[in-house]
Amino acid sequence: MAEPPPPPPPQLDPFPETTRQNDAGAAFVLQSKGEWWHAGFHLTTAIVGPTILTLPYAFRGLGWGLGFLCLTVMAMVTFYAYFLMSKVLDHCEKAGRRHIRFRELASDVLGSGWMFYFVIFIQTAINTGVGIGAILLAGQCIQIMYDELSPNGSLKLYHFIAMVTLIMIVLSQLPTFHSLRHINLGSLVLSLGYSFLVVGACINAATSGKAPPRDYSLESSKSARVFSAFSSISILAAIFGNGILPEIQATLAPPATGKMVKGLMMCYAVIFVTFYSVAVSGYWVFGNKSNSNILESLMPDEGPALAPTWVLGLAVVFVLLQLLAIGLVYSQVAYEIMEKKSADTKQGIFSKRNLIPRLILRTLYMILCGFFAAMLPFFGDISGVVGAIGFIPLDFVLPMLLYNKTYKPPRSSLIYLINISIIIVFTGAGIMGTFSSTRKLVMDANEFKLFSSKVVN
């Protein structure tokens, strides 16, 4: 009788660093201790943020029908994409290769060295862009409250941005992603809070007769409508995107299999409640006069506020507090990269050897984000550009590629055809969105002054 063939050798992890023995970024920042609900908190903070206050503005470029369609398609496609990516991560973990970084996962599955650096570049653009946007909008929130209390005050937007940056420097010293779990639970509650307050304020404005005349017409020029539509699609992509799902799944205690799906279900329940309510109520009341931040529409520069001051003030406070959590979440990849090179796993996380570099590097990173937030106050436009060049490749293209490469479904199968269709459609949308969003950024630059005290809409 012939001897049975020897068992195949175990599949080696292509990233020896994932042994985690000398990897401070993994051992410290991305330590795996969380439960599925912690992942749900992190996901909700990464996706359901004050950017949802730009949804009426996104509808402004799409109209009712196309706006609803695009919002629903984005929700379905992103949930599907994140589900597929989680499945790929689970598959790799079962094969003995647990990836805790997006760049490692993409390079391993797609098998090209350039993909590793491509994902690093895109994630850096996303993390820095969101960090800048979070600080900018937080500074704008403080400015809104200041202007209400002191209409003729001398402080400018960049002063408030500096205040927020100082707060972020302090909070950034929380050493691990997992240590943000309680903050991110609070973030989830805050997102529900200001969404309900904004919806109530919009209904009050509509029923009180103080709102401007409603006009839902699109731009008269056909080319302008096309550009506005793709800019709006880019904004929606940025609102739904997160680009850090592998890093969030990394915080789950092993085995992580199946846990992320539960976290996604929690996150998308919150998305359903908040996204649709804010989009519908804001666009219903303000139509094509919606600002890039619906709170500004409710508090116009001229005339009285369109809702009770306490409602708007509480909403602004909730937004401000959540922005701090969002800035922390999107900084984790940058911290993980920095500490992988600067920290020493042989010494404690709070040892002097690791504490001092962490303090210096994280402080410098926050100062950099704060500086650009003060210098470039284009919050709505930044969302569109980041969505087009960052979130669309990572959240609408790569997950489908990773799944097809990992599971190898037959080319005639429905799932393969769906994945390829999504890749083609959103690659085209990303190219057009990049062009449209950049065009709008250039057009708005005519109104731009360095360290301006007003965010350009």
Tokens of 110: 């797609």
How many angstroms separate the CA atoms of 409 and 403, rounded? 9
Quick check: 277 pLDDT over 90?
A: yes
pLDDT value at residue 332: 93
Model confidence pLDDT, tens digit, residues 314-326: 999 999 999 999 9
Please say if the pLDDT value at position 235 is more than 90. no
Tell me the mean pLDDT in the region 43-58: 92
Position 381 scores a pLDDT of 62
Range of weakest confidence among 32-46, 199-213, 403-417: 199-213
Give the pLDDT confidence score for residue 449 in this predicted structure.
63
The answer on pLDDT for 63 being more than 60 is: yes
Residue predicted with more confidence, 213 or 419: 419
Q: Residue 3 above 90 pLDDT? A: no
320-343 mean pLDDT: 92
Q: How far apart are CA 33 and CA 294, in angstroms?
A: 38
pLDDT at 22: 73
**HSE-CB of 124 using CA atoms within 13 angstroms:** 9
| pLDDT score of 2 | 45
The answer on pLDDT for 200 being more than 80 is: yes
Mean pLDDT (whole number) for 163-181: 95
Q: What is the reported pTM?
A: 0.89
Tell me the C-alpha distance between 389 and 392, whole Å: 7
Q: How many DSSP H helices and E strands does the chain contain?
A: 17, 0
* pLDDT, the chain, mean: 86
Report which of residues 19 and 100 the model is more confident about. 100
Q: pLDDT tens, 113-154?
A: 788 888 888 888 888 888 888 998 899 889 888 888 888 888
Split at pLDDT 50, 70, 90, the class of 405 is very high
pLDDT of 385: 67
Q: Identify which of 302, 323, 305, 309 has the alpha carbon closest to the alpha carbon of residue 139.
A: 323
pLDDT on residue 18: 44
Find all residues with CB under 8 Å of 366, minimum gap 6, and list them: 131, 165, 168, 169, 172, 331
pLDDT at 387: 63
The predicted model gives 53-82 an average pLDDT of 93
**Token pair listed for 383:** 């969302």
Residue keyed to tokens 């990303």: 430
CB 11, CB 97: distance < 8 Å: yes
pLDDT at 11 exceeding the cut of 90: no
pLDDT score of 455: 61
Q: Give the pLDDT of residue 275.
A: 96
Q: What percent of the chain has pLDDT over 70?
A: 89
Cα gap 54→311, rounded to integer Å: 19
Q: What are phi and psi of 40, to 5 degrees?
A: -60, -40
Q: What is the mean pLDDT of residues 252-256?
A: 87
Q: Which is more confidently placed, 97 or 410?
A: 410
pLDDT range class, residue 34, cuts 50, 70, 90 = very high
Instruction: Inform me whether the pLDDT recorded for 445 exceeds 70.
Output: no
**All domains of the chain in start order, with CATH:** 35-447 (1.20.1740.10)
Question: How does residue 8 score in pLDDT terms, banded at 50, 70 and 90?
Answer: very low
Q: Which of 22-31, 267-276, 441-450 has the highest average model confidence (pLDDT)?
A: 267-276
Give residue 84's pLDDT: 95
- 131-135, 290-294, 435-439: range with highest mean pLDDT: 131-135
Residue 380 has pLDDT above 70, yes or no: no
What percent of the chain stands above pLDDT 90?
47
Q: Look at residue 251 and tell me whether its pLDDT is greater than 80.
A: yes
Min mean pLDDT across 6-15, 208-217, 349-358 is at: 6-15
CA torsion through residues 335, 338, 342, 346, sign: positive
Residue 284 has pLDDT above 50, yes or no: yes
Q: Beta-carbon neighbour count of residue 285 at 10 Å? A: 25
* For residues 372-382, average pLDDT: 71
